[in-house]
Chain A
Amino acid sequence: METNVIELRDICKSFYGVQVLKNINLDLKVGEALCIAGENGSGKSTLIKIISGAYTYDYGTLKINGREYPTISPSQSISEGIQVIYQDFSLFPNLTVADNIGLGYHLLEDKKLFSKQACRKIAKQSLQRIGVEMDLERLVEDIPVAQKQIVAIARAIMQDAKVIIMDEPTTALTQKEINRLYEIINKLKESGVSIIFVSHKLDEIFAVCDRIFVIRNGKEVANYPVDQFERGKLSFYMTGSEVYEEPFEPEEIGEEPIFEVNSLAFKDYFRDISFAIKRGEILCITGRLGSGRTELAKSLFGVLPLTEGTVTLRGEQINIRSVPEAIKNKIAYVPDDRLAEGIFLEASIKNNLVSVVLNDIASKIGFLKEKTKDGPAKEWQEKLAIQANLEDPGKSLSGGNQQRVVLGKWLASTPDVFVMNCPTVGVDVKSKSEIHILIRELASQNIAVLLISDDIGEILNNSNRVIVMNDGRISYEAETKNLDYDSLSAKITEII
């Protein structure tokens, strides 16, 4: 007999008179992996928050483990075994890895006393279950973003979870880590844990999910077992229109390189890095996490000072020892951790868009009229199709729109070199393809584009050359048209 862990019937939810969920019916079976797919703003986050007790629903019935909940609080939801891994991980930066993983257990068991030993034990066990070793005593604020995600996963599985909801869990993970995540998910399924997997990456969905539930404008548009689901239809269901990406082909490659680097090195992180980007090209650098690709990106923007090597821009040697120097030399940078480094969450979209060019638009003695900001802000809002009020704060935007703001603020400064560190992480399908189109436009406009990515599909479709980094060195370099998914994937995961 198949039983349902979660049953939603006719769930409706409105915010301020706007209906964001309309008559949602959804069943989650024991041990099933369900994918919820939808664009940003489609209502999928609201749906998750209703299940996790963060929001109350207006109408309908919600049953968990056979019990009906007219209202459900977050702690009730947790004690019913529902765990959410949020995109922002919901960790405590000021606590250690062990405390982060173990604290929830103490609350779940309604313990009064806190035991550090218990935390360590639980943390060790659940990390072992995922097959990761980590320094348990480090503060979470000191660990890289991928490890934060692992801590969040470890925290969710350590509690006696019946349902684990993962909100785009692979965004900060490398292919190897994603594969490990698949293994974990399969193991969890076997042990009777149900998974709700929020994603719009096709490969992922088909690798782990049993069923796909697609939501658009608050309504169910598709609900099929994976084997009956047409691969090509997903983006159609999500957007209501067909999205197809032509592989990138440079229109015309210039003779002289715009941007050239020679034997760059930074401490132990990378060395002997040389490459050149010619006009019209999109060069991609990839590699596993820890391969040095992130550090290289940061060095090119002056965040980490290069210890060796030369950088040449349009034939002139330049120094990039600091971020202001990089900006002065017209280098732009899209960081991988958008929320922490890319966008001013509390500041308005307008202020975000003009943040890089403040000096250029201010008067000679440094005054800046509010009105002066409108021009460039509106210009980039239109060019990038950011659908929002310019006065709204950055945090009110969806992932895709936030990334557009990040791109826009740099484009306003007319860069010569654009270093993009995983620019489509946590961005919906439609925005992703729009960002890709934008990247291609940049390349055709005499801007050297350096794309750092670990999304193999993205690399193959959006660059003409790829460099694979391994253990701080360039291990492989090729034209993307000669590569396919599997051969590139093999080069990336290759152990030297």
Chain B
Amino acid sequence: MNTITKSKFTETKFYQTLTSLMAKNETMLVISIVVMSIVIGTINNKFFAVETIYETLLATVIWGIVGMGVALVMINGGVDLSCMPIAMFSAYSATKIMLWIAPNAPIIVLFLIGMVIGAGLGLVNALFISIFKIPIFIATLALGVIYKAVMLEFIGNIYITPAEMPQSALDFSRTYVFGGLHVSVLIMLGVILLTFFILRFTVIGRGVYALGGAPESAERIGYNMNRLKFSIYIYAGIMYAIGGVVYVSNSRLADPYDMIGTELTVIAAVVLGGVSLMGGKGSVWGVLLGALLSVIIKNNLILIGVTSDWANFVFGLIFVLAVALQAYNTARSKKQSA
């Protein structure tokens, strides 16, 4: 008698876990990635080679790192269109500054200069959003344009060639670990873990969700709104800068016209990763999976002879399906509670 009820209990529990797992966005992403990999891998078995996996991860790095900042701002309730302008501004200026004051400094200096600039631009974002209460989308759209213009006018509009790049950046681009994994993948993982830690285990991190879910309530329970918003935008600015520096180092070229214009790609990856455009919801692992899935579709479908137009079509299709599924799940859980 006892054993029967017990097994029944575990069975329903198992079923519950299964359904809640299926409703999770991350699960759907993992399934999509696995399916996509099997399809690509069976047609072109090179895909399962360690090198291909490492390469895919390397291609994910920029989206993963910049995506952390974009995700944070989106959880807080808005779309940050200034991500790539800040990334490029910080990376290009940092390279110029380093070449000017200490061309032989180690790579960490390049990162630090970039991060300071990124933090500064994040502060400007925060100023307009927090003090002047401009909607995030509009503020970052306008400021992104300004950042680009300021960079081209005052910092420079000529790209820094590989021959001119700081030696440490060139060395960085050739640094591999674990038999061929590029070091910037580790930076991405570090940044994701850090963001995960902040969002999950700090009061300010929970505040990001609280603010995204119900701003007035967040203020009422005692959050300092300005401090919270400034922290978010400065942190996001630093993430963009890290992404930018990794990008220019890896491409051994600092082209001020590069990167800017790909904002929507990273935003799409973040949304695909399950971060709600309405704010208040999303996880860093979802963002990583979303970035990974976009890269697999866009870079690796070519391996099996799919043209880039069709790859984009597949990406768009998966994107719209993912968003539809998220919306469906939200509606269903609402109905269940009604």
Contacts and interface: CB of A to CB of B under 8 A. Distances in A.
Contact of A114 (B200, B216, B279): B200
Given A75-B222, A108-B222, A143-B337, A90 B217 contact: yes
Contact of A298 (B200, B333, B338): B338
A95 B201 contact: no
Given A91-B214, A95-B213, A113-B201, A103 B220 contact: no
Nearest to A294: B338
A111 to B, nearest CB: 6
B206 A142 contact: no
Contacts of A75: 222, 224
B53 to A, nearest CB: 33
A371 interface: no
Contacts of B217: 90-92
Contacts of A79: 222
B122 interface: no
Given A94-B212, A144-B337, A113 B220 contact: no
B223 interface: yes
Given A75-B224, A113-B202, A114-B203, A92 B337 contact: no
Given A91-B214, A92-B213, A94-B280, A78 B221 contact: yes
A484 B71 CA distance: 59
Interface residues of B, number: 29
Nearest to A79: B222
A74 interface: yes
A269 to B, nearest CB: 11
Interface string B207-232: 00110111011111111100000000
A215 B277 CA distance: 43
B78 interface: no
Contact of A90 (B214, B281, B333, B338): B214
Contact of B221 (A90, A93, A111, A114): A90
A453 B219 CA distance: 34
B161 interface: no
A393 interface: no
Interface residues of A, number: 33
Contacts of A54: 220
Contacts of B219: 74
Interface in A86-111: 86, 90-95, 99, 103-104, 106-108, 111
A138 B40 CA distance: 39
Given A54-B220, A142-B333, A94 B209 contact: yes
B205 interface: yes
A242 B281 CA distance: 51
B332 to A, nearest CB: 11
Contacts of A93: 213-214, 280
A488 to B, nearest CB: 28
A74 B220 contact: yes
Contacts of B204: 112
Contacts of B212: 94
A94 B203 contact: no
A107 B210 CA distance: 12
Contacts of B202: 112-114
B206 A99 contact: yes
A107 B201 contact: no
A304 interface: yes
A64 to B, nearest CB: 15
A298 B335 CA distance: 12
A158 B285 CA distance: 32
A196 interface: no
Contacts of A99: 206
A143 B333 CA distance: 10
Contacts of A107: 203, 221-223
B213 to A, nearest CB: 4
Contacts of B334: 141-142
B336 interface: yes
Given A94-B279, A94-B280, A114-B203, 10 more contacts: A90-B221, A91-B214, A92-B214, A92-B218, A94-B212, A103-B210, A104-B221, A107-B203, A113-B203, A114-B200
A-B residue pairs, 8 tightest by C-beta: A94-B280, A94-B213, A90-B217, A75-B222, A92-B213, A142-B337, A107-B222, A104-B221
14 contacts: A74-B222, A75-B224, A79-B222, A90-B216, A90-B221, A92-B210, A92-B280, A95-B210, A95-B213, A106-B206, A112-B204, A113-B202, A143-B337, A144-B337
